[in-house]
Chain A
Amino acid sequence: MKSALPIVTVVLAIVAVWYVAAALMNASLQRDLFANAGRADYSTQDLVGASLNMERPKLPAPHQVAAELYKLVFTIPPTSKRSLVYHGFITLEETLIGFAIGSALGIGLAVLIVSMRWLDRSMMPWIVASQTVPIIALAPMIVVILNQFNITGVAPKAAIAAYLSFFPVTVGMVKGFRSPDPLQLDLMRTYSATRAQTFLKLRAPASAPFFFASMKIAAAAALVGAVVAEVTKSEDGGLGARLLAGSYYGQTVQIWAALFAAAALSATLVGAIGFAGRLAQKRMAFP
């Protein structure tokens, strides 16, 4: 843990910069507030103190966001519609369902592409090209189309999360299944292994590092998909809906709290996958 000290230092520096920025950005707003209240005798200290504790600041101070997070996570019952736990669970559910479907389909397609040459030659260029296209632009439309079929609630958002996580998984897993070098493939041939055996005993295990790398990307992408989908259909709740509600009503502290909740969710998911990856790495001894 020799990097703990540098990380803590950098984090503290970010918090310090944040406080300064908050004071500077909110000061003019607070001056107007003082002027409206007829107060002219405030000191710089008053101004800074008030700027860091405004109700609707341009940039809320870190302690305000922390207090809001604490209030919305711990003091409000998780069943309440104001609780971030409630909205976080909605987002988490959509993300996990979408992530599971998206990665399963992605791995399935990668298997097909690796085993069928014509699929590889005809489809792979499109899948690679899809990585350069802002496919998230499709999100609002998917929600509406599924709505026409009376598919509402979690399903449309999970669908968007799924298709956002689908492409990176396909690309990553095709790379992974192709990672054994010709020497190893030749060895399998000298053992007269069937294609299925080669796949199960060589290609699949060799793809493990790629698997965990793609899962991390897919989880992060699925969460982005879920949050953006919630913005386009905000009446069912979720962290994205909180972002949108906050921006409608100018509740900046609420936006930042929702943002941090989403960040924590993403970091937890990616961290959990990274942890599973390291466990697998120890047992399988891949680099």
Chain B
Amino acid sequence: MTRSGRLGEFLPPLAFGLAVLAIWEAGVRLLHVPAIILPPPSAIATRFATSMPTLAADFRQTIQGVLAGYVMGSLAGFMAAILVDRSQFLQRGLLPIGNLVSALPIVGIAPIMVMWFGFDWPSKAAVVVVMTFFPMLVNTVAGLSVAGAMERDLMKTYGASDWQTLLALRLPVAMPFVFNALKINTTLAMIGAIVAEFFGTPIVGMGFRISTEVGRLQIDMVWATIVVAALTGSLFYALVAGVERRVTFWHASYRAKEA
């Protein structure tokens, strides 16, 4: 892709974003909206700059739970999918339940996890584990069934064992599905950790900061924390999407863009 093509792609959303910020700033100042309701972007930026240490501490606290839960939940979902894959019976039984669980308000287990694992980050990680497990399970099982009959027959003519077929054929073609789950899970992990902090945490963490500063009507601090959460979420997603591009470069959705 050429340089100007890229620029043309980025310019309109950038202009739109800046326009929203400008209208927000001007509107708040002209209409004299009180800062407790909606602080202007400049105030949020100032607050962001002056509260860096607090925001960094909150970030460190929350990201521990996010990452630990994300890795454990996704890994457990992946392993469970490989085990389930061995049995048609289990697949038929677990998949509908997995799909159902994905639609449930799992964040509700947050108070239970806080009781079991205490106020610190392990309880947040536990919520994230449960939230990320099922999307990974369902997607990986779906991905493992993608390899066609022809390709499987070919593996059989090579005399490949089940495990060899799994490693050489079925797992690689399942990767787009696995990464789809990994991408869904980045958002779920952030949501799980932040909402779990609403239910109890040591006096640090993004969810804690949001709920207490709302109580103290320091809305600019709330917005600054939301900026951190938004940046973290997007960067996390972008990171996973970047790895996906490396791993599944052969997939049609990437080849089409380069052609």
Contact = CB atoms under 8 A, between A and B. Distances in A.
Given A6-B89, A228-B198, 12 more contacts: A7-B96, A132-B187, A133-B187, A136-B194, A138-B226, A140-B198, A141-B222, A220-B105, A246-B111, A247-B111, A255-B111, A266-B103
B92 A2 contact: yes
Contacts of B94: 6, 10
Contacts of B107: 224, 227-228
Interface string B235-259: 0111000000000000000000000
B17 interface: yes
Interface string A201-239: 000000000000000100010011001100110000001
Interface of B: 12-13, 15-17, 34, 36-38, 89-94, 96-97, 100, 103-105, 107-109, 111-112, 114-116, 186-187, 190-191, 194-195, 198-200, 206-207, 210-211, 214, 217, 219, 222-223, 225-226, 229-230, 233-234, 236-238
B211 A121 contact: no
A263 B104 contact: yes
Interface of A: 2-3, 5-11, 14, 58, 118, 121-126, 129, 131-134, 136-138, 140-141, 143-145, 148-149, 216, 220, 223-224, 227-228, 231-232, 239-240, 243-244, 246-247, 250, 252, 255-256, 258-259, 262-263, 266-267, 270
Contacts of A140: 198, 210-211, 214, 222
B233 A133 contact: yes
A134 B108 contact: no
B12 A141 contact: no
Contacts of B16: 122-123, 126
Contact of B13 (A8, A121, A134): A121
A174 B257 CA distance: 20
Nearest to B101: A263
A117 to B, nearest CB: 10
Nearest to A6: B93
Contact of A247 (B36, B96, B114): B114
Contact of B103 (A133, A216, A259): A216
B234 A134 contact: no
17 contacts: A6-B92, A118-B12, A121-B13, A132-B233, A134-B233, A137-B206, A145-B38, A228-B195, A231-B198, A232-B214, A244-B199, A247-B112, A247-B114, A252-B115, A255-B112, A259-B109, A263-B104
Nearest to B17: A126
A247 B199 contact: yes
A279 B12 CA distance: 41
A119 to B, nearest CB: 9
Contacts of B96: 3, 7
A247 B103 contact: no
